[in-house]
Structure formats: C-alpha cells, structure tokens
Chains A and B, each alone.
Chain A
Amino acid sequence: MITLGIDLGSRKVKIMLMEDKKIINKFMVNTMAFYRDYCSYDGKIMVDLKKLNIDKVDKAVSTGYGRNNIDIKLFKPITEIKAHVYGAIYSTGLKDFVLLDVGGQDVKVIMVEKGIVTDLELNEKCAASCGRYLENMANVLEVPLLDMFNFSDDPVELNSTCAVFSESELIGKIAEGYSLEKLCAGVNFSLYKRLKPLLSKFKSETLLLSGGASKNSALIRYLKKDYEKVVVIDDAQYNGAYGCCIYGKNFCQ
C-alpha cells in the first residue's frame, strides 16, 4: 500500500511517499512553484500527481495551511498539530515530550503526554520568531542561512519585538563594528528569546525539534540549557509530511 503525505507550508511544500512502513520517496517544492506548476483549479485545487512523477497512490493525506483547499476527493485533510505529533511519535518512539516546530511563518509548541496532545501554543499575529525572520536577517548580513546557524557565542543584543525593526537594529550593530560571528549569534539568540516565553509554559524533560529551524545548531545549543534532552527529529522538515503518511497508513479508513 502506498501512502502519500503532503505538508503545505508557507515556504515549501513537503511531499513524502511511503510503501507500508518504508519511505520510498521524498522531495520539496517551493510553495509558489507548487501551486503554479503542479496544481490546477476547478472549484477545488487539484494536484497533478503525474507532473510530480507520482504514479500510484492508495491513500493521500494533507496538512498545512492549504489542506482544506486541496482536492478533497483524493486527500484526507488533517490538522498540522496532529500531523506533527504523529510524525514525532513514530520517528522517535517517544510518547511524552514537548514538540517545538519552527516553520517558515509559524511556531507550534505541543505538549504530548501518553501519546496524546494535552496542551499547545501557537504563534498568532506575528511571525517574528520564525524561519522567515532568520532568512531576512541572513540576507542583511549577506551570509548563507546555514552558515549563520553555526554561531552562538557572545551574541550581540537585539531587543526589537518586530522582525522588521530587528533588521534596522542589526544594521546599527553592523555599523558599530561587531564581528560577523557575534552578529550571527545575536540573530540566533534573538530567535531563542522569542521562543522562550512560548516554551516556558511547558515543562518536560524532553524537547523534540522539527521544522526548518531545527537546522539551527545555535538554537539547539541554547535550548540544551533548558531541557535535559533535546532531540532533533530525523528529516525534521519532513515531519509533517511523515505524520500524514503515518496517519494514512494507521488510521485512515
């Protein structure tokens, strides 16, 4: 049985194919390109699986912002919370943890006890603590995003609540002559500071990380001070798509 899981994120669409328990294919498409090149619209958005080189699918499950717009005849939509929790449980084997998912535009903190969601916090109104913020700041610093993630020592102080004001604050620090390492660390630390109030409500020994920002090793270093165990989920960016596959395989009628 082949299950297709699609996680429609704000920056990337993550696609995964699973045959029985084995992942047989996974890839990402930019969100804009996905809608433009692989979808057509007929009342509902129809995904052209052939264009995605996907032949045979027995079950298809979608999550993410666009989940309710996708061709519902084929796809079973599930909430992002559920998709990410199933992804986390099945990829780590853990049942009690706090899951932090930092995506392109949103942050989810989900408390899982006995394998079930018992509490959650989502960012609202503002996306200053998300992946897109990191992209913008890396652009200001003119460094590749992944390089910026390496620095955590001696961060410069960045205090703005607003992601746009943070850019001008960062430019001010550049003008003051701080080293690139300290500036990069400052950006990473500012992300950590914004996530901390969301996380402080959830007490657990284990923190799982998913989403694009889990590539941020500086962030992981900061979080390790607060939790006994910080685990980055394998293929963290595909966690939602993997959760969709798991749901399709185990729970979909």
Chain B
Amino acid sequence: MKKIGITTTVPIEILIAAGYEVVDLNNIFIMSNKYAGLIEKAERDGFPSSSCAFKKGVYGAAMDNDFKEIVGVTEGDCSNSKALEEVFRMKGIKVYPFAYPSNHKLSDLKNSLDHFMNMFKVSLGEVEQVRIRLNKIRNLVKKIDELTYIDNKATALENHIYQISCSDFNGNDHNFQDELRNKIKEIKSRKTIEKKLRLAYIGTPPMTSDIYDFVEKFNSRIVYNEVQREFSFPRGINYKNIYEQYYDYTYPYDIEFRIQEIKKQIKQRKIDGVINYTQAFCYRQIEHIIIKESLDVPILNVEGDKLNVLDARTKLRIEAFLDMLIDRK
C-alpha cells in the first residue's frame, strides 16, 4: 500500500479512498525513542534552534522514514508549516497542498475539498463511503471521551492517545477499531477514578505527555483534551457530508470559534481550571492573551519545547497552581 505522510489533521477520508496508508508524522516523531535525534537532524539541516520542536521533529521523521509523498496544509496552519513544506519539496518529496480557508466559509471549504478530491482522482461517493466507515470508529473514540468525563473510568492519557490517533487511525482503521472495542470493554469494567479537581487541557497536544500523570499527584485529573478531541470530530459524526464535517472543526479556524467550543465544554464537564499548553516559538503563545481574557476559570499557560518530559520549574508551577485551586473546592 502506498504511504503518505500528514503534518496535521487533514481530510483523511480522501486519502484512504485513494488507496493510501496515512501516517501522521507528528505521531511517529513523538512516539520515537530517538525523538531528540530527529530534532537534531532538522537543526543540522538548518532549522533554527529558535523554532517549533514539532516542525523539526516532523521533518526528522519524514527524512528518517523516507517518505515520498506528504500532504501540506497551506491555510489553517502556521507559516512555519508552509516553510517546512517548501523544504520537503526541495528534498524531492511530492507535497499535496490542502487549505482550510481562513474566512471559514462553507462554500470555500467545499471548493478546497473538491480540489483535493480531484487531485487524488476520487469521487464524493467513494469519499462518503470511507467517511461512514470512519465515523463508526470516531463514535467509539467519543465513547472513550465519555468514559473519561462522565463515567470517570478512562484515564486522561488514554483520552489523549485515542483521540489524537484519529488523525491517522494509527495507519490502519480496521485494527484501530478492534483495539478500541477491546479497550472500551476493559475500561468499562474498571472502578471510577476519584479526584477532587477537574481540569481542561487546551492547546497543541503536548510534547510532555507525562503532564497527565503528574497532575494526578495533586488530587486532580484532566477530563477534557481540547485539540485532541477536535481531531476525532465528535460533532462532525452527525453531519450529512464531508463538507459540513470539516467546516465544524475548530482548530484551523479563528480563535473565537475555538473559544466558543472550549467554553461549552468547560461548562458541560464542570471544569475547575484550565492548562493551556503552547509550544515555544509558536504564534499560539500570543493567542493565550485572548484565551486568558475570554475564559472565566483560572488558567495556567505551560510552555513546552524540545524535552518530552516536564522540567522541574514547570512541575513547581503546576503544583503551586493546583495547590491553590484545590482550596476553592
């Protein structure tokens, strides 16, 4: 099967319909035991040390695994991503562009998706068939999310991992579906997790996934992973076509649209405090100004860079934040 790399969530239905095995390069990077080496490779090739570690890791992962084809997001992602795609092209990789129109108009998104389908020579009918198949899996992932915040049985890390895996369905949606069914069965049989504080994790998925276990030491638990949940299209499942599904996806569009959904979830999931994770050198650090102003719950900004575990200072900050938050309960 032909393999294609993606650098963020894109309409995977189209790629699967075109017969590709889809691989999210972020996942390869973050799961690799030589993740630091992948960053180093990018820096050796000229990526500045003062640039996003994820972009460098994605570059390193693409080179290391000899990818020949990649989907590049030209709108709805950062300018660093665009530059990364140019470097891929220079290295002889075929880059297929896809745009989430910044004006967030359904008609423009339809044009963009139609263009993407033409590029891969697939029909809307074929794509919709795949979408129906994938939405069954997305429903299972939604169940894991509910097992996290309603039943309080799934762990925050599981919530993170299964939702984030929806960007590429771990390269094989059939196997992923089987894994999910078994996991749900196992989680249902567990006892409920009891913690005093309910936290939201918003922003880019973390470099430092130990954050989920770390907060639990302080009688706290993350019950909402914002962007990871968006990757699983929890609302898009109900829409009648692919256009509507990718229209109701917050991450690539404006910050206000994102905040509306965050606010809704804060209320529904009874969130006591928010951790906004941003990656060093990312424009989303500036967006923290707006997020902090818009949310009326206490919010902590945690910054990650190259390290895949929390550093001592960040741990101290999280501890001090939770120590005071818990007094309010």
Interface residues of A (CB under 8 A from B): 79, 81-82, 85, 110, 113-120, 247, 250-251
The answer to whether B300 touches A120 (Cβ under 8 A) is no
Contact B321 A117 (CB under 8 A): yes
User: Could you jot down 29 A-B contacts, CB within 8 Å?
Assistant: A79-B323, A81-B320, A81-B323, A82-B324, A82-B327, A113-B292, A114-B298, A115-B298, A115-B324, A116-B273, A116-B300, A116-B321, A116-B324, A117-B317, A117-B320, A117-B321, A117-B323, A118-B298, A118-B299, A118-B300, A118-B301, A118-B317, A118-B321, A120-B316, A120-B317, A120-B320, A247-B327, A250-B327, A251-B327
Q: Any chain A CB within 8 A of the CB of B193?
A: no
**Any A CB within 8 A of the CB of B325:** yes
The residues of B that contact A119 with a CB separation of less than 8 Å are 317
Residue pair A116, B298 in contact (C-beta under 8 Å): yes
Give the 7 A-B CB pairs with smallest separation, nearest first: A116-B298, A117-B320, A251-B327, A116-B324, A81-B320, A114-B298, A118-B300
| Distance in angstroms between the alpha carbons of A120 and B273 in the assembled complex | 18
Report the bound CA distance from A116 to B317 in whole Å.
11
Contacts of B317 in A (CB 8 A): 117-120
Grouping DSSP codes into helix (H, G, I), strand (E, B) and loop, the A interface class, with mixed when no group exceeds half, is: mixed
Bound together, the chains give a CA A85 to CA B320 distance in angstroms of 10
Bound CA–CA A85/B324 (angstroms): 9
Q: How many residues of B contact A (CB 8 A)?
A: 14
Residue with the greatest number of chain B CB neighbours at <10 A, chosen from A115, A117, A247 = A117
The answer for the CA separation of A193 and B298 in the assembled complex, in Å, is: 32
Distance in angstroms between the alpha carbons of A250 and B329 in the assembled complex: 11
Cβ distance A63 to chain B, nearest Cβ, rounded Å: 12
Contact call A117/B299, Cβ cutoff below 8 A: no
Question: Cβ of A116: which chain B residues have Cβ within 8 Å of it?
Answer: 273, 298, 300, 321, 324-325
Chain B residues positioned under 8 Å from A110 (CB to CB): 320
Residue numbers in B under 8 Å from A250 (CB-CB):
327
The residue among A110, A118, A120 with the most chain B CB atoms within 10 A of its own CB is A118
CA distance in complex: A119, B317 (Å): 6
For A82, what are the chain B residues with a Cβ–Cβ distance below 8 Å? 320, 323-324, 327
Q: Which residues of A contact B292 (CB under 8 A)?
A: 113
Interchain CA distance A116-B327 in the complex, whole Å:
10
Q: Which of chain B's residues have a CB closer than 8 A to the CB of A120?
A: 316-317, 320
**B127: shortest Cβ distance to chain A, in Å?**
45
For the complex with contacts A118-B299, A119-B317, 20 further pairs of A-B residues with Cβ separation under 8 Å are A79-B323, A81-B320, A82-B324, A82-B327, A85-B324, A110-B320, A113-B298, A115-B298, A115-B324, A116-B273, A116-B298, A116-B300, A116-B324, A116-B325, A117-B320, A118-B321, A120-B316, A120-B320, A247-B327, A250-B327
Q: Which chain A residue shows the least CB distance to B325? A: A116
Closest-CB distance, B315 to chain A (whole angstroms): 12
B320 touches A79 (CB 8 A): yes
Chain A residues with CB below 8 A from B320, complex form: 79, 81-82, 110, 117, 120
Alpha-carbon separation in the docked complex, A247 to B323 (Å): 12
Chain A nearest Cβ from B151, distance in angstroms: 28
> Restricting to B220-278, which residues have a CB under 8 Å from any CB of A?
273
What A residues does B298 contact at CB under 8 A?
113-116, 118
